[in-house]
């Protein structure tokens, strides 16, 4: 009898000790859910946090991790807009680090022909976050200066890629020389700078003292603190996350005096609150990917048996873009 090989979080742990590969019963398509052969799963930091119980969403144990992937529909649900054989991007809170999974139409997007399965798996979450941040919340305008922190990460690199596609001047920071070289090689039109303390002076120097119009910050802590000192008047400081750990704060007098806005970014919630705009966001990303204007970067691919190496690379902050698990290899 066919089984579904999957990675399962059997208990929450700080060191991935609660994860194991298991053989589960093969799922079957049913009303509202199509059976997808998952060809690639992109790992993100939320996947790692969920294995430790540190993410805001806490699925019941046991669960299969993996928020986004890409694959081929094996059997479409009755009434689905998709048919067997369609290449799709799949997304959800969990379930993608497996060879097969069940997904409703609302959790699937057509995979652009221009992208590989691995690239498709890495598209949705990162680029949706970047789009909502820059376009919806940041209201960016062509020619403005965008400063992207943590630009080697999956979300940060997506913001660099999208910012360039939107006609912004992009300044990208990274913490190590190797990551800065990697960003520069991928995006030679971006201006890559050291993200260590003191970046304020570099940003002000590059902008003739004006500062950045938009600052995309998934890091927080001291990076946020220093960003307050290199943002332009009428600028938008986009709060995306707190990868550095400390959640920073700012006195209300600072944005008042300096004339800028601190703007929260929750891409998924934005789509839930404004469904029509959410659909437009996804359509815009797919159109840009289909045209080749944006392209997710895959750092490395791992077989399912090497899942621990994929998670460890992410834990050590070695990944530029996204690491991808190929469940059938």
Read off the pLDDT band of 81 (50, 70, 90).
Answer: very high
Range in 49-58, 192-201, 215-224 the model is least confident about: 49-58
pLDDT given at position 249: 95
Residues 118 and 206 reside in one and the same domain: no
Say yes or no: 113 and 43 in one domain. Answer: yes
Q: pLDDT over 70 for what percent of the chain?
A: 100
User: CA 112, CA 123: separation in Å to the nearest integer?
Assistant: 10
Same domain for 132 and 110: no
Domain assignment present for residue 162? The answer is: yes
In a domain, residue 25? The reply is yes
Residues 50 and 173 in one domain: no
The verdict on 244 and 115 lying in the same domain is: no
Structure confidence at residue 56 (pLDDT): 85
Across 211-225, average pLDDT: 97
Give the residue numbers spanning the domain of 304. 3-123+296-326
Q: What SS3 class is residue 51?
A: helix
Residue 52: which CATH number? 3.90.180.10
Q: What is the mean pLDDT of residues 41-69?
A: 94
pTM for the complete prediction? Answer: 0.94
For residue 2, pLDDT over 90 is answered with no
- Model confidence band, residue 1 (pLDDT cutoffs 50, 70, 90): low
Q: pLDDT tens digits, residue range 107-127?
A: 999 999 999 999 999 999 999
User: Average pLDDT for residues 84-109, to the nearest whole number?
Assistant: 96
Average pLDDT, the chain: 96
Cα-Cα-Cα-Cα dihedral sign, residues 193, 195, 196, 202: positive
Q: pLDDT-derived band of residue 245, with 50, 70 and 90 as boundaries?
A: confident
Whether the Cβ atoms of residue 130 and residue 78 lie closer than 8 Å to each other: no
Q: Does residue 76 carry a pLDDT above 90?
A: yes
Pairing, β 298-303 against β 19-25:
unpaired
Number of structural domains (the chain) is: 2
What would the mean pLDDT of 199-203 be, rounded to a whole number?
98
CATH number of the domain within which 170 lies: 3.40.50.720
Alpha-carbon distance of 328 to 79, in angstroms, equals 28
pLDDT at 92 over 80: yes
| pLDDT at 31 exceeding the cut of 70 | yes
């Amino acid at each position: 009898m066919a089984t579904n090989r999957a990675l399962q979080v059997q208990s929450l742990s700080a060191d991935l000790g609660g994860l194991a590969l298991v053989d589960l019963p093969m799922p079957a398509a049913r009303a509202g859910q199509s059976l997808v052969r998952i060809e690639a799963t992109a790992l993100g930091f939320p996947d790692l946090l969920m294995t430790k119980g540190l993410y805001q969403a806490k699925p019941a144990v046991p669960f299969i991790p993996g928020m986004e992937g890409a694959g081929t529909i094996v059997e479409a649900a009755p009434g689905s807009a998709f048919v067997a054989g369609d290449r799709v991007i799949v997304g959800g809170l969990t379930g993608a680090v497996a060879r097969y999974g069940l997904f409703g139409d609302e959790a699937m997007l057509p995979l652009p022909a221009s992208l590989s399965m691995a690239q498709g798996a890495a598209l949705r979450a990162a680029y949706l976050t970047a789009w909502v941040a820059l376009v919806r919340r940041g209201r960016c305008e062509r020619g403005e200066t965008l400063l992207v922190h943590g630009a080697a990460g999956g979300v940060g690199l997506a913001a660099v890629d999208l910012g360039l596609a939107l006609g912004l001047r992009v300044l990208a920071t990274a913490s190590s020389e190797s990551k800065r070289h990697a960003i520069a090689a991928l995006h030679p039109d971006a201006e890559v700078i050291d993200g260590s303390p003191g970046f304020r002076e570099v940003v002000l120097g590059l902008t003739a003292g004006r500062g950045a119009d938009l600052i995309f910050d998934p890091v927080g802590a001291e990076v946020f603190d220093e960003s307050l000192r290199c943002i332009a008047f009428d600028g938008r400081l986009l709060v995306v996350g707190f990868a550095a750990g400390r959640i920073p704060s700012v006195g209300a007098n600072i944005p008042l005096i300096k004339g800028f806005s601190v703007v929260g970014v929750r891409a998924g919630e934005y789509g839930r609150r404004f469904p029509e705009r959410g659909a437009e966001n996804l359509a815009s990303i797919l159109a840009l990917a289909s045209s080749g204007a944006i392209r997710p970067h895959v750092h490395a691919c791992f077989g399912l048996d090497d899942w621990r190496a994929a998670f460890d690379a992410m834990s050590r902050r070695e990944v530029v873009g996204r690491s991808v698990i190929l469940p059938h290899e």
